[in-house]
Amino acid sequence: MMDWTDRHCRYFHRLLSPNALLYTEMVTTGALLHGDKERFLGFNHAEQPLALQLGGSDPFDMVRCAGFAEKAGFKEVNINVGCPSDRVQQGAIGACLMASPSVVAACVTAMRDAVTIPITVKTRIGIDKQDSLNFLLDFIGAVAEAGCDTFIIHARKAILKGLSPKENRSIPPLNYERAYEVKRRFPNLTIVVNGGIKTVVDIQQHWQNVDGVMIGREAYHNPYFLADIEHLLFERPLIERQNVLHNYLPYVEEQLVEGVSLVNLVRPIFGLFASQAGGKHWRRYLSEEARKHGAGPEVLLAAYEAMSPFTAIN
């Protein structure tokens, strides 16, 4: 999720979920080869296990970037074949690559030959009018033959012309059965489903048909969902929201010393009290106070205290 799951967000999510495999925001090969490589590859050890999601289509560039990822300590490189944005399409990467399985396959082969960490692919179920089951099976088959054994399937097709990336996350209907069918046809592959998953019941249903689930924006807007998953599916004690906040404070202090803006550090925690009484006051207080000169960790505690006139928080 570009501009969303940065390293501060991932650190916060790890506090909520010890078991999840975390993914970076999508990083293009151009950004790594010609931009601030350290910014995109930097992470806190506590975020592990961590995968780099990479956007690109040139095998040589993909190999170089996979090498960067392995050297930096990432546990996986995931090739993004799902992003529908115009900017990404102009670079011949993202969802438009579904129409070129040989290109994706060439990248997979070259990357697997160059690094020892897994190379996986995140894709849609189709693009535009190319959205038949056979189209998806042909794509999966060609890339699997090149050596990819794990596919994350966003169970919507992408409409590349006429819809924004935001609209592409809601207007094309979800078709989980299509992802299930891929698993039935390719039982030896690891198939992970993504898209519209918002409850533990949803996850339990998907687990009966595929190997795993990926949680996207729900983890950002309602991060405590991750704690519910840990408690109900992995039988870990349920951590209270205020304890998550207190566990995040030392990281905030450390990052402020390093010169990171408090605005960037509070952005991932806006949704910590989503659906809770006083949650709107929490978000408003953080939004207003974090921007003030000299603001520090005390802003987070004050935001929590500002919720106290409302009902108890669990």
Catalytic amino acids?
A: 83
DSSP letter assigned to residue 2:
T
The token duo for 162 is 């006429």
Distance CA 172, CA 168 (A): 6
DSSP state of 271: G
Q: Which long-range contacts (CB under 8 A, 24 or more apart) does 183-189 make?
A: 183/209, 183/210, 183/211, 185/137, 186/140, 186/141, 186/144, 188/149, 189/140, 189/144, 189/149, 189/150, 189/151
- Judge contact between 55 and 27, C-beta under 8 A: yes
From the list 187, 190, 126, the residue with the least C-alpha distance to 152 is 190
| Three-class DSSP category at 130 | strand
